[in-house]
Structure 1
Amino acid sequence: MAKNEVPKGEPFDLEKLQTLFEMMEKHGLTEVNLKRGEETWKLRRGPQETVSMVPAPMQHAVPAPVAAPAAAPAPPTEAAPAADAGPVIKSPTVGTFYASPSPDDPPFVSVGSKVGSDTIVCIVEAMKVFNQIPAEMNGTITELLVKDGEAVEFGQPLFRISQG
């Protein structure tokens, strides 16, 4: 019983938390629940839950701006080809975009790279956790939309891909 007791106010060991994230990645886990005394943490990783949430807000946000400039036909015509130029790989989290595993290594992918659904295309670092981002679709990278070292937002397009 004594080893399960935790002094109040003591934080989780961040090194152990990092190890837990690495183990989650290694074993393909997307969710872990921890309980320590009165404190409970729920850890989630991976794009499965975040990807399903991205389309709903975007669908609601897009109709309003499109309806307002309906009097000017040229801007919607220019915006439509850019949106239809191919699907995009989006960031599943907020963080810093890295195109390669380290500064001395080549990028994971570049324009013209063929990718599969499990192909790692980049890393997004958040709070010292380096999340490998898979393509989640098959195709060819046609455009890089973010620069190495740039801050990215949740749902921000990172790459354009053609699935032909």
Structure 2
Amino acid sequence: MELKEIQNLIKFVAATGVAEVKLEIDNVKITIKTTLEGSTPEITYLQQAPMQQSLPQAAATTLAPAAPQAAAAPVAVDESSKYITIKSPIIGTFYRKPSPDKPMFVEVGSSIGKGDVLCVIEAMKLFNEIESEVSGKIVKVLVDDMSPVEYDQPLFLVDPS
């Protein structure tokens, strides 16, 4: 990957408003983190992986699960422990509406029941409805509409009472 392509990728990520993007091509790993308020990149890491094939795969499997857990921990600490976190069951693009001209599935303050559709996550051109496994009231939506989400990423906070 050339420097110009990396610069274009940084500009694209900053323009979309995504908080973090990780990309791995062959033996090059790129992580781009942007600030939530603005559109300027905060941190960009370029890491050259060793050429040995078995070692990077083992390291990737060890390090990959640690990052989402570390990101999820502050949410649990910041919010009251009485709330239930609904997490993404798949990787994809998060949508709060069934289509652009329809209303959102749920808003902050909406009462939900078990089995109610909360959002849609698009993965490989398939739109997967994400249903609630709990009843309660939506306290907070943790992901912006049309944002990429990762497996086990917190999406909603629900007050079960």
Task: Provide TM-score, normalisation by structure 2.
Answer: 0.52
Specify which of 101, 106, 110 is matched with residue 107 of structure 2.
Answer: 110
Q: Secondary structure at the match of 1:96?
A: strand
How far apart, CA to CA, are the structure 1 residues paired with 2:97 and 2:122? 12
Between Structure 1 and Structure 2, how many residues are aligned? 93
Residue by residue, what CA displacement relative to the aligned partner does 1:47-70 show, whole Å, maximum 9, x if unpaired? Answer: xxxxxxxxxx78xx67xxx9xxxx
3-state SS of paired residue (2:83): coil
- 2:118 is paired with a residue of what secondary structure? strand
CA distances 1:107-131 after superposition (whole Å, capped 9, x unpaired) = 0000011111100000000000000
2:122 maps to amino acid: E
Structure-2 change in CA distance of 1:92 and 1:79 (3 Å) = closer
Residues 7-56 of structure 1, C-alpha deviation per residue, up to 9 Å, x if partnerless?
A: xxxxxxxxxxxxxxxxxxxxxxxxxxxxxxxxxxxxxxxxxxxxxxxxxx
Secondary structure of 1:142's aligned partner = strand
2: CA distance between counterparts of 1:144 and 1:80?
A: 16
Structure 1 partner of 2:135: 138
Give the alignment's Cα RMSD to 1 decimal: 2.5
Gaps of 5+ in 2: 1-64
Structure 1: which 5+ residue stretches go unaligned?
1-56, 67-75
* Larger strand percent: 2
SS at match of 1:80: helix
**Inter-CA distance 160–107: structure 2 relative to 1 (3 Å threshold):** same
The amino acid of 1:151's aligned partner reads: P
1:43-102: CA deviation from partner (whole Å, max 9, x where unpaired): xxxxxxxxxxxxxx78xx67xxx9xxxxxxxxx9x9634262511111100000000100
User: Is the helix fraction higher in 1 or 2?
Assistant: 1
1:86 aligns with 2:98: no
Identity %: 45
